[in-house]
Amino acid sequence: MNILTCQLAGLLTLQPKVFGDARGFFFESWHRDRYRAAGIEADFVQDNFSLSKKGILRGLHFQNPAPQGKLVSVLAGEVYDVAVDLRRSSPTFGRWHSQALSSENKLQFFIPPGFAHGFQVLSETALFHYKCTEFYSPHDEASLRWDDPDLAIDWPIKEPLLSGKDAAAPRLKDIPTARLFP
């Protein structure tokens, strides 16, 4: 497995070792000891799947308290995945990182607690998988505006399809400090 770091501390892109031949392929999507050796000491407690159509943007979501770390991947299709640093004490607070995830590249993206997360579907459909370090808690869930001009995220599709909640999400500067991470 190859591990790629980025400029935002804690974010990791993982490239599993894929074994393939004319019959198809095989790879390990999770192996606790190998992933711990890579720096992911998370205790995953919940797995989620979502199926979305082209142009859908889900996010940017986070939970606080009870923040979730996520190991995400795409089982079918392609997405533009984004994590935004919401850790107030971080030197990269308010900065974002994107990662192309697809069933072809088989990459995984680890987003530790303290980040908002979202993705935009680039293929006709995408089957998205999330391994989460904390249970979903509707009471703790919050959203960050996907098109916040202060973040200036370069989304590939400029007019995405959004849920009502995501369309009404606040800008980062309007989120109370207590709602963010230390």
Helices (H) and strands (E) in the chain, counts: 2, 13
Pick the CATH number of 2-18+42-135+152-179 from 2.60.120.10, 3.90.226.10, 3.65.10.10, 3.40.50.920: 2.60.120.10
What pLDDT does residue 79 have? 98
Q: What are 112-162's pLDDT values in tens digits?
A: 999 999 999 999 999 999 999 999 999 999 999 999 999 999 999 999 999
| Catalytic residue selected from 35, 61, 97, 117 | 61
Q: Considering the chain, what percentage of its residues have pLDDT values greater than 70?
A: 100
What pLDDT does residue 53 have? 98
Residue with tokens 């979903």: 136
Q: Which two tokens stand for residue 48?
A: 């989620």
Distance CA 12, CA 108 (A): 8
Q: What is the pTM of this model?
A: 0.95
Closest C-alpha among 40, 32, 36 to residue 10? 40
**142, amino acid identity:** A
Decide: 138 and 62 in contact? Cβ < 8 Å: no
Q: What are 10-39's pLDDT values in tens digits?
A: 999 999 999 999 999 999 899 999 999 999
Q: What is 66-95 written as a DSSP string?
A: S---EEEEEEESEEEEEEEE-BTTSTTTT-
Residues in the chain: 182
| Catalytic residue selected from 35, 117, 129, 130 | 130
Q: Which secondary structure element, helix H or strand E, spans residue 165, and what is its range?
A: helix 164-167
**Annotation says 136 is catalytic:** no
Q: pLDDT band at residue 179, thresholds of 50, 70 and 90?
A: very high
What pLDDT does residue 129 have? 98
Q: Which two tokens stand for residue 165?
A: 């909640």
Burial annotation 71-92 (CB, 10 A radius, 16+ → b, else e): bbbbeebbbbbbbbbbbeebeb
CA torsion, points 34, 35, 41, 46, in degrees to nearest 10?
-120
